[in-house]
A and B are shown apart, each in its own frame.
Chain A
Amino acid sequence: MVLQANNINKHFRKPVDFHVLKDINLSINNGEFVSIMGKSGCGKSTLLYILSTMDTDYEGELMIQGEKISGRTRDELSYIRNKHIGFVFQFHYLLSEFTVLENVMLPAKKLGEKSLKEIEADAMEKLRILDIESIAHNKASRISGGQKQRVAIARALINNPAIIMGDEPTGNLDSHNAQNVFSIFKKLSVEQGLSLLIVTHDLDFAKKTDRIIEMLDGRIIS
C-alpha cells in the first residue's frame, strides 16, 4: 500500500463553515494507476492537497508507505514530499529563470542523496524517457505548453517517488498534447510500476486507468 487515507474530514471555516470533505477513505496499491473524477467544486483538488501533505488542516489519518503522516512537523513533511511524492499541476509551474535541466534537477539537489554528476545523468535520463532531451538546455520560459508539462513530469520523477499525483495535468493542454501526457503516464505505470493518482475531467482518459474514484459533494461515491 503506497497511500492510505482513513476518515478524512475537512472544513473551510471562512467565509462560512463549509464541510468540504466528508469521511474520505481510500487506498492506492503499489503500481496502481488511479484516476479521480467528479464535478467541478466537489473537492478533488482539496483532497489532493491533503494527500500530497501540503495541506495539514484536516481531521483523519494519512499513511504513506505504511507510515503515519498526520501530525508530522512542516520540515518532516517537506522531506516526505521531496523524497516520496511527485506532483504535477494543471499550470505547469516551472521556475522560468532556470533551464529545463536545472528545473528537473532541483528536487534532487534538495534531497542531496546523489552527486551533482549523478543527478544530471538522472535528469537527462528522465528527459529522454519523456522524449524532450533535445530541449534540456533551453530556458523554461522558452518552451511550449506541452513541453512544459512534460518537463514538470520529469521533475516529479527525478527522486523516483513512491507516487505521482496530478491535479488535472492535461486540463490546460490541447487534445494532442493531452493524449501524449496520458500515454506517458500509462507507460510509466506499465513499464516502471509507478503508482499514480490523477484528477481528471476526461472520461476517455479515466477509463484507461486501473480504477476510477468518483466524488460528489465531498464524498467518494464509487
Chain B
Amino acid sequence: MNSALLLGIAKKHLMTKVKQTLIAALGVTFGIGSYITLVSFMTGLNEMLDNLILNQTPHIHIYNEIEPSKKQPIASYSDFEAALNVVHSVKPKFSQTKIHNALPLLEKLNEDKRVRGALPQLNTQLFYISGPIELSGNLKGIDIMNEVSLFNFGDYIIGGSAKDLENNSSGIFLGSGVAEKMSLKIGDRVQVSTVKGGIFPLKVVGIYQSGVADLDDIQSYANITTVQRILGVPNNYITDINVKLHNIEEAPGMAKSVASQNKLKAVDIATANAQFETGTAIRNLITYAVSVTLLIVAGFGIYNILNMLIYEKMNDIAILKATGFSGKDVQFIFLSQAMIIGIAGGLLGLLIGFLLSTIIDGIPFETDALPTITTYPVHFDIWYYIIGFSFALVSTFFAGYLPSLKARKIDPVEIIRGQ
C-alpha cells in the first residue's frame, strides 16, 4: 500500500511536467534504440565476416612444406663437434609435396572424436588452354560432396551443381575469373596441361566464385581422382588435408600435435586469421562506446528533470515530511520517477531498436564478394534486449539517485520557515 501510494504521488508529479518527462524518456529511448540497432547490425557484420572466413577455411590445414633440413650432415660428424661449421647456400633436398602416408593419417583423423571431418585435397599448378589462349592457374582435386557439407562449398558455386562434378570424371569447376578471361561457359571444353607436360581435355560443368578476385582468376576444382589421373600419380597422392573440428577452440592444440607426430606443417585457423579477432573486438568497442555515450546524455536529461521537479516540489516535500512521510518515502518518490522514465523510455527504445534492425535486415545488399548475402546482415539476439533494458535501468537509477538523495535529506523546517 505504501509503495502504491508513493508511486501515485510520483506519477502525479510527472504528469505536471509532461513535456520534460517525454524529452527525458526519449533520451533513454534514443540511447537504447541505437544500442540495439548498432549491436545487432555490428554483430551481424561480424558474423558475416567470420563466416566468410570460417565457412571455407579449415580449422586445421595440414600440408608438407619443402624446406631445407634444419640439421646439416656435417653436424653428425663427431670430429667437428667443437668447431664452428658454416654451410653456405643451403637448399632443400628434392622431395615431393605429397603428404607421406596420407591415407592412414586421414583415417586416423576421421576416427578422432574431436574431428567433424578431414578431407584430402590435391593441389597442382597447370595451364588452361582454350584455342590460342594459355593461362596459368591452379587446380585443386577435392572430395566435392564432403566439401559441400563441411566447408559450404555449395555457397560458392554460381553455375552448375556439385552433383554434376561428382558424376563427371573429366569435369571441372572453373573459377569465375578464369571462365571470363577465356570466354568459357558451362558445357564448353577446356584443355589443361600440367607443368610436366601432357594435355588433358576437361568439360566445364560449373563455375565457382569465392568472392576473392585474385583467387577466382586462377583457381579451378575437379574431383581428386581426376587430378590424380592428370598428374599420373597413385590414389594415395594427397598434398593437403583440411580438418574441421567440432570445437574450434581445440584447433591450436591439435594442430601442434599433428605437426610434431607426422613431421608435417599444420596451421590452425586462429593463427591464420588472427586479424579477424581484432576486427571483431574493435567493432564491439565502437558499439558500446556509442551506446554508453548516448545513455550518459540521456542520464543527464533525467538528472535534470528530477532536479527541476525537486526544486519545484520543495513545498510538497516539506508537507509530506511534516505529515509523517519519511525521508526514505520521499526518496522513493523521486527515484521511482527516474525509473518510470527509464522503463518507459527503455521499452520504447527496445521497440524502436527492433524495428530499425528489422528494416536494416530487409535492405538489399548485394556484392560479388559475398554471393550468399542478399540483404544487410543483422543478428537478432534476445540478450541484446535484456542487456539494453538493464542498461536503461542502471543508467536511470544512477541519474536519479543523487537528486533523490537530495530530496530525502531536505529539512522540512527550513522550507516551512522559508515562507
Contact = CB atoms under 8 A, between A and B. Distances in A.
Interface of A: 45, 49, 52, 54-55, 74-75, 78-79, 81-83, 87, 89-91, 93-95, 97-98, 106-107, 109-112, 155, 167
Contact of B319 (A75, A78, A95, A109): A95
Interface stretch (B55-63, B77-85, B139-147, B410-418): B410-418
Interface string B273-295: 00000000000000000000000
B318 A93 contact: yes
Contact of A93 (B16, B315, B328): B315
B327 A74 contact: yes
Contacts of A45: 417
A54 B411 CA distance: 8
Contacts of B5: 106, 109-110
A155 B1 contact: no
B98 interface: no
Contacts of B315: 93
Nearest to A172: B419
B319 A94 contact: yes
Counting contact residues on chain B (CB < 8 A from A), the size range is: 20 to 34
A157 to B, nearest CB: 12
B271 interface: no
A37 to B, nearest CB: 19
A82 B323 contact: yes
A75 B326 contact: yes
A82 B326 CA distance: 10
B13 A89 contact: no
A91 B324 contact: no
A49 B413 contact: yes
Interface string B1-41: 11001000100110110000000000000000000000000
Given A95-B316, A109-B1, A110-B5, A78 B325 contact: yes
Contact of A107 (B9, B12, B13, B324): B324
B386 interface: no
B324 A83 contact: yes
A209 B179 CA distance: 113
B322 interface: yes
15 contacts: A54-B322, A54-B413, A55-B413, A78-B324, A78-B325, A78-B329, A79-B326, A81-B323, A81-B324, A89-B322, A91-B419, A93-B315, A106-B320, A111-B324, A167-B416
B185 interface: no
A97 B16 contact: yes
B317 to A, nearest CB: 10
B15 A97 contact: yes
B189 interface: no
Given A91-B419, A112-B1, A107 B323 contact: yes
Nearest to A73: B326
Which residue of B318, B326, B329 has the most chain A CB atoms within 10 A of its CB atom?
A: B326
Interface string B299-332: 0000000000000000110111111111111000
Contacts of B328: 75
5 interchain residue pairs of minimum CB distance: A82-B324, A78-B326, A107-B323, A81-B324, A97-B12
Contacts of A79: 324, 326
Contacts of A94: 319
A90 B12 CA distance: 25
Contacts of B12: 95, 97-98
Contacts of A111: 324
Given A78-B324, A107-B324, A111-B324, A93 B2 contact: no
A95 B315 CA distance: 8
A112 B6 CA distance: 12
Given A78-B326, A79-B326, A89-B322, 14 more contacts: A49-B413, A54-B321, A74-B326, A75-B328, A78-B327, A78-B329, A87-B323, A93-B318, A94-B319, A95-B12, A106-B320, A112-B1, A155-B323, A167-B416
A84 B132 CA distance: 110
B412 A97 contact: no
Contacts of A52: 322
A93 B413 CA distance: 13
